[in-house]
């Protein structure tokens, strides 16, 4: 089945630094990648939708200059949290759609636990 | 606005049956998903319903009524490993997934 590889799984960074999270589709081409954030005991919150070769579409309230998304190829999308602050600490998850599986095809990465100290 | 409602938490006994309900109000409908999420892990796909009725897959079944904006996930022969959060999500008219807050299922021996 479709696999999305997400790295790193856990990262601790100092306040003010930047962190890059990578998501790769391993056996399919992901023209669209979704980036979610999840706070403890809360639902997934869509941050942005990235499309290969074009600018990402950000949800209302998400700062595009703070959460930089790059989707340079059909198999790789990255999310960079710039000038991280403790309130950015969260669980970040990417998801891609394998069109070969039709509407079933939303596959999630394993998630990245970001802690900003 | 768009809204997905499901209970916050449920408790059931190992070996029993539990039904997790989900009601939704969305702008358009292109299917309803159920995902399982263990603590600290990403969600994994359980089921997809786009037509009314019951879909059975092993110990798990999912039901949909589009006219009532209602779905349920039925888990039979509960095992301890079924302790997890169960997320209901609806694909709207823009093919975006709208997520419920999840139902935390606690299984007791």
**Model pLDDT for residues A41-89, shown as the tens digit of each residue:** 788 899 999 988 888 999 999 999 999 999 888 899 999 999 999 999 9
Find the residue in B nearest to A109 (Cα).
B42
- Confidence (pLDDT) at A32: 87
Residue holding tokens 């023209």?
Answer: A31
Chain A window 20-79: which residues touch B at a Cβ cutoff of 8 Å? Answer: 34, 41-46, 49
Q: What is the maximum span of chain A, computed from C-alpha positions, in angstroms?
A: 41
Contact B48 A103 (CB under 8 A): yes
Residues of B in contact with A43 (CB under 8 A): 87, 99-102
Count the neighbouring beta carbons within 10 Å of the beta carbon of residue B78. Answer: 19
- Confidence (pLDDT) at A60: 92
Contact A34 B97 (CB under 8 A): yes
SS3 B86: strand
Contact A103 B42 (CB under 8 A): no
Asked if B99 and B87 count as a contact pair (C-beta separation under 8 A), the reply is yes
Contact B42 A104 (CB under 8 A): no
- Confidence (pLDDT) at B40: 83
- Confidence (pLDDT) at A104: 65
pLDDT at B42 over 90: no
Chain A touched by B45 (CB under 8 Å): yes
Q: What is the maximum span of chain B, computed from C-alpha positions, in angstroms?
A: 43
- Residue-by-residue DSSP string for B11-32: EEETTS-EEEEEEEE-SS-S-E
- Confidence (pLDDT) at A105: 65
Chain A touched by B97 (CB under 8 Å): yes
Residue holding tokens 């595009």?
Answer: A64
Residue holding tokens 């590889």?
Answer: A5
Count the neighbouring beta carbons within 10 Å of the beta carbon of residue A72. Answer: 11
- Sheet of B18-25: strand order equals B3-5, B18-25, B70-75, B60-65, B53-57
- Confidence (pLDDT) at A101: 67
Asked if A113 and B39 count as a contact pair (C-beta separation under 8 A), the reply is no
- Confidence (pLDDT) at B106: 97
Question: Mutating which of B42, B46, B50, B90 best tests the A interface, going by the most A Cβ atoms within 10 A?
Answer: B42
- Confidence (pLDDT) at A102: 64
Residues of B in contact with A45 (CB under 8 A): 99
Contact B41 A106 (CB under 8 A): no
Rg (CA), chain A: 14
Mean pLDDT, chain B, as a whole number? 94
Mean pLDDT, chain A, as a whole number? 90
pLDDT at B9 over 90: yes
The C-alpha of A85 sits at a distance from chain B's nearest C-alpha, in angstroms, of 21
Residue holding tokens 């856990």?
Answer: A10
Two tokens, residue A28: 């399919």
Chain A touched by B69 (CB under 8 Å): no
């Amino acid at each position: 089945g479709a696999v999305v590889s997400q790295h790193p799984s856990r990262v601790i960074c100092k306040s003010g630094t930047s962190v890059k999270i990578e998501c790769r589709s391993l056996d399919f081409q992901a023209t669209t990648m979704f980036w979610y954030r999840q706070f403890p005991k809360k639902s997934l919150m869509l941050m942005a939708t990235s499309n290969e070769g074009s600018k990402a579409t950000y949800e209302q309230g998400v700062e595009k200059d703070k959460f930089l998304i790059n989707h340079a190829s059909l198999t790789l999308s990255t999310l960079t949290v710039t000038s991280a602050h403790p309130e950015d600490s969260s669980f970040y998850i990417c998801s891609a759609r394998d069109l070969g599986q039709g509407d079933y095809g939303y596959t999630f990465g394993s998630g990245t636990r970001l802690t900003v100290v | 606005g768009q809204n997905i409602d499901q209970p916050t938490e449920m408790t059931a006994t190992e070996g029993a049956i539990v039904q997790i309900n989900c009601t939704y109000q969305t702008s358009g409908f292109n299917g309803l998903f159920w995902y399982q999420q263990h603590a600290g892990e990403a969600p994994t796909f359980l089921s997809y319903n786009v037509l009314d009725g019951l879909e059975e897959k092993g110990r798990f079944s999912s039901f949909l009524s589009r006219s009532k904006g209602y779905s349920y996930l039925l888990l039979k022969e509960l095992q301890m490993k079924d302790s997890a959060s169960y997320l209901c999500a609806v694909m709207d008219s823009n093919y975006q997934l709208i997520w419920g807050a999840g139902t935390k299922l606690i299984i007791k021996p």
